[in-house]
Amino acid sequence: MGFFDLATNLIFPPKCANCGELISMEITNRQIDPLCPTCRMHYESEKQIECKACGLTMNFCRCMPKNMSRAQCTALLKLVSYRPQGEDMKIRDFIYSVKHSNNRVTFDFFAEQFKELLILEMRGASLLPDDCIITFLPRSHKNKANDGFDQGYELAKALSRKMGIELVRCFDRKFSTTEQKNLNQYERRLNMKSAYKLRDVEDKIKDKTVILVDDIVTTGASMASGARLLSSMGAFSVIGVCVGVTEKKNS
């Protein structure tokens, strides 16, 4: 990365993407980190929280919603568990910022974190970069227009660059759908069945392990829907990668 790239990537003055405190230039020169040292510490301890289902820490947990395993996903890699408002989570703002703040430093940070998990996963499955492609679930046109960017694309692009794995735009939105959050689980499933369509990329997908990137996974319906389409086009397997998984209430 050249000096000018670096300079344009930084927000001046650099502020912590979680608490908004100014980050001293000494730190930002040493390491491009979207978090101040205190929030970075909170982030690191979030990674050590244990999954209630498998007992492993978040960075080793591979659990996924049932609809994803039914759709032939092999794993869901995640950085943190995203807990609802009102519960103790010191970096909620930072995790949520991936949805509404178009910040290259944050996208690069998450991509670097994904890379650590993905390297382990690929090694375990004896996969090489050429065996894989990276893709993402595109936002609805309305959401993209509101925020001016597509976080799935930004995360996937950053990860592709870091891993040396080709980024392939596999999906289009069929039509703009009702906001997912207003739907119950049954309606979501019906809705997601028709939310995406595959582009003409069959030759790119066939026999590949597809790394499917999303921001925050709640029910897994979107990922499952994408995975089903990819499998129908001959994908060898699908690995989900996300920033956070929403913890179910009362679980």
Question: In terms of CB distance, is 16 or 158 closer to Zn ion?
Answer: 16
Span near Zn ion by CB under 5 A; candidates 60-68, 105-113, 194-202, 209-217 = 60-68
Instruction: Tell me how far apart the alpha carbons of residues 133 and 125 are, in angstroms, rounded to a whole number.
Output: 15
Choose which of 6, 22, 25, 53 interacts with Zn ion (CB under 5 A): 53
Instruction: Tell me how far apart the alpha carbons of residues 165 and 37 are, in angstroms, rounded to a whole number.
Output: 31
Question: In terms of CB distance, is 57 or 232 closer to Zn ion?
Answer: 57
User: 132-136 and 209-217: which strand pairing?
Assistant: parallel
**Binding of Zn ion at residue 201 (CB under 5 A)?**
no
The CB-of-108 to Zn ion minimum distance in angstroms stands at 17
Q: Which of 231, 223, 165, 170 is nearest to 201 (CA)?
A: 170
Question: In terms of CB distance, is 97 or 222 closer to Zn ion?
Answer: 97
Peptide bond just before 13 cis, omega within 30 deg: yes
**Binding of Zn ion at residue 233 (CB under 5 A)?**
no
Q: Which of 245, 218, 224, 213 is nearest to 95 (CA)?
A: 245
**Binding of Zn ion at residue 28 (CB under 5 A)?**
no
Choose which of 33, 36, 107, 158 interacts with Zn ion (CB under 5 A): 36
Helices (H), 104-184: 104-124, 141-147, 151-163
Span near Zn ion by CB under 5 A; candidates 7-15, 58-66, 71-79, 173-181 = 58-66
Q: Which residues of the chain form contacts with Zn ion (CB under 5 A)?
A: 16, 18-19, 36, 39, 51, 53-54, 61, 63
